[in-house]
């Protein structure tokens, strides 16, 4: 092994001073040492570059997989900034649900909750996880009844909300129709019961009248004389 320092060259056999070497030998040894060091550094850089390239490919594959799952999910998904509730990302169903383009939705200062549902934002701020129902406003101004499921990730200013939204407008209508049908059914049952209670005494009166009619059929009436 050869080491170059300010005193000259050193080998395992001992130090070689410049005066012990002619200029040509010194330059050759110096050149060989520099080339060797450069080769080592180049090998290290090449290994680092290969590792970096492999990590980059893995990251791209992982990102593509995440994006595919995100876009093809069968529920609307929104990524919100936790402090401002600004939309950072959205999948296809999320855009379809609200009727916005991606650019227009991301440009909004806040996720479009209905004003009466603004307290939903406070719930997100105060909880790590949230599940409930709310109302959001589509681009055409139409209110949309939704079921929300949310969780947070990240820390500090980088904290974000992952918001899953499912349209339950039709379910709400069906629930209301079922509730109305149940009320009508109860009213029908009540009416039937009342009619039954009324029919019972009427039936007894009818029977008694028929009995009296038969019994008095052969008795001459006072009007006959």
End-to-end CA distance of the chain: 158
Task: Provide the pLDDT confidence category of residue 108 given band limits of 50, 70 and 90.
Answer: very high
Q: Looking at residue 88, what is its pLDDT?
A: 93
For residue 179, pLDDT over 90 is answered with no
pLDDT tens for 47-91 read 888 888 888 787 777 777 777 777 878 899 999 988 888 999 999
Residue 21 has pLDDT above 70, yes or no: no
Least confident of 81-90, 145-154, 193-202: 193-202
- Give residue for tokens 């600004």: 86
196 pLDDT above the threshold of 60: no
The least confident of 60-69, 102-111, 159-168, 203-212 is 203-212
Q: What is the mean pLDDT of the chain?
A: 76
pLDDT for 76 equals 93
Q: Supply the pTM of this predicted model.
A: 0.54
The partner residues of 5 in beta bridges, in order of sequence, read 8
The residue ranking higher by pLDDT, 93 or 19, is: 93
């Amino acid at each position: 092994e050869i080491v170059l320092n300010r005193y000259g060259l050193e080998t395992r056999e001992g130090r070689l001073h410049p005066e012990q070497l002619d200029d040509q030998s010194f330059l050759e040894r110096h050149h060989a040492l520099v080339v060797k060091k450069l080769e080592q550094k180049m090998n290290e850089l090449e290994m680092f570059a290969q590792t970096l390239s492999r990590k980059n490919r893995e990251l791209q594959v992982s990102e593509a997989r995440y994006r595919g799952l995100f876009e093809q999910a069968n529920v609307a998904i929104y990524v919100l900034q936790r402090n401002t509730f600004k939309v950072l990302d959205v999948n296809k169903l999320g855009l379809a649900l609200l009727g916005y383009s991606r650019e227009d939705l991301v440009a909004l200062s806040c996720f479009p909750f209905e004003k009466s549902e603004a307290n939903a934002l406070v719930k997100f701020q105060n909880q790590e996880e949230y599940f409930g129902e709310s109302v959001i406003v589509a681009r055409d101004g139409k209110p949309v009844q939704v079921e929300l499921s949310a969780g947070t990730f990240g820390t500090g200013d980088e904290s974000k909300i992952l918001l899953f939204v499912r349209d339950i407008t039709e379910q709400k209508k069906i629930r209301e129709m079922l509730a109305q049908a149940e009320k009508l059914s109860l009213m029908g049952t009540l009416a039937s019961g009342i009619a039954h209670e009324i029919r019972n005494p009427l039936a007894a009166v009818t029977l008694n009248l028929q009995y009296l009619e038969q019994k008095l059929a052969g008795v001459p009436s006072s009007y006959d004389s």
